[in-house]
Amino acid sequence: MTQNLLRPVALVTGASRGIGRAIAARLAPTHDLVLTARDAARLGDVAASCEAAGARVRTMAVDVRDGAAAGAAFAGLEIDVLVNNAGVAVLTPFLELTPDEWHRQVDVNVHALYHVTRAVLPGMVQRGRGHVCIIGSTAGRNTFVGGSCYAGTKHFVMGFAESLMLEVRDAGVGVSVITPGSVATELFPEGTNTAWMLEPENVADAVLFAVTTPPHMLVHRLEVRPLSPKRPRDSF
């Protein structure tokens, strides 16, 4: 990808589906894109649609849980906007949660956040500009049965984001965390009623708003929710 100097460059993790795909599509008219996920074929489909919307796109099939791989892939890239979107959820009571399910959530929701941010942030600080946007969850301030690990990782996101914001704001780098309520994605088990939930595009709208505010203004926390679980989207 050759960088268009007139357009900022955004790196979106978990960009092959769901919220990440919607974010890529929403940013494509105004940003060039670096899109990463593990599924190269799906990334190719997303890239094609984003290029049709005007973006120059580079895809990178990277497992962001792998710190060495993430560091090698992203270090040195001139990224203006980092959207840490990659995430997984296993909504199971603690005594039914397997070690693999526990570690997978921590690896993606916590460790990958460190790996990617650590690779990209030094360049932002050096250039004196940039924006780190993290997709959190209302589970980052609430709890529920089956959320011992997932909610724990999202509480971590909230603490990480606010601490990082305080550390880098004087260098001209903003940090935002978008906290959606329930979103109709593949994270929910088959058969779940998602007709009342937010759509991925609603979260993408929030991301675009957060990363395109004036340079002197920071939207640090932005919570978006479905209006009511008793009102399906198509009833409005």
Among 80, 116, 150, 154, which one carries the catalytic annotation?
150
Residue 107 falls within a domain, yes or no? yes
Domain of 179 in residue numbering reads as: 9-235
pLDDT score recorded for residue 2: 46
For residue 1, being part of any structural domain is answered with: no
Q: What is the CATH number of the domain that holds 213?
A: 3.40.50.720
For residue 16, what pLDDT is reported?
96
Question: Cβ(108)–Cβ(86) under 8 Å?
Answer: yes
Alpha-carbon distances, residue 117 vs 56, 81, 130, 132, 160 (angstroms)? 22, 11, 12, 8, 11
Helix, strand or coil, per DSSP, at residue 133: strand
pLDDT given at position 106:
98
Query: How is 184-217 classified by DSSP, letter by letter?
Result: -STTSPTT---TTSBPHHHHHHHHHHHHTS-TT-
- Integer Cα distance of 180 and 109 in angstroms: 15
In a domain, 154, yes or no: yes
**DSSP code string of 85-123:** ---------GGG--HHHHHHHHIIIIIHHHHHHHHHHHH
114 is catalytic: no
In a domain, 4, yes or no: no
Number of domains the chain contains: 1
What letter represents residue 36's amino acid? Answer: T
The end-to-end CA distance of the chain, in Å, is 42
Which helix (H) or strand (E) segment is 8 a member of? Answer: none
Helix (H), strand (E) counts: the chain: 7, 7
Per-residue tens of pLDDT for the chain, all 236 residues: 444 557 999 999 999 999 999 999 999 999 999 999 999 999 999 999 999 999 999 999 999 999 999 999 998 899 999 999 999 999 999 999 999 999 999 999 999 999 999 999 999 999 999 999 999 999 999 999 999 999 999 999 999 999 999 999 999 999 999 999 999 998 787 888 999 999 999 999 999 999 999 999 999 999 999 999 999 999 88
The dihedral sign for the CA sequence 200, 216, 167, 138: negative
Record the pTM: 0.95
Flag whether 2 is in a domain: no
* Residue 161 covered by a domain: yes
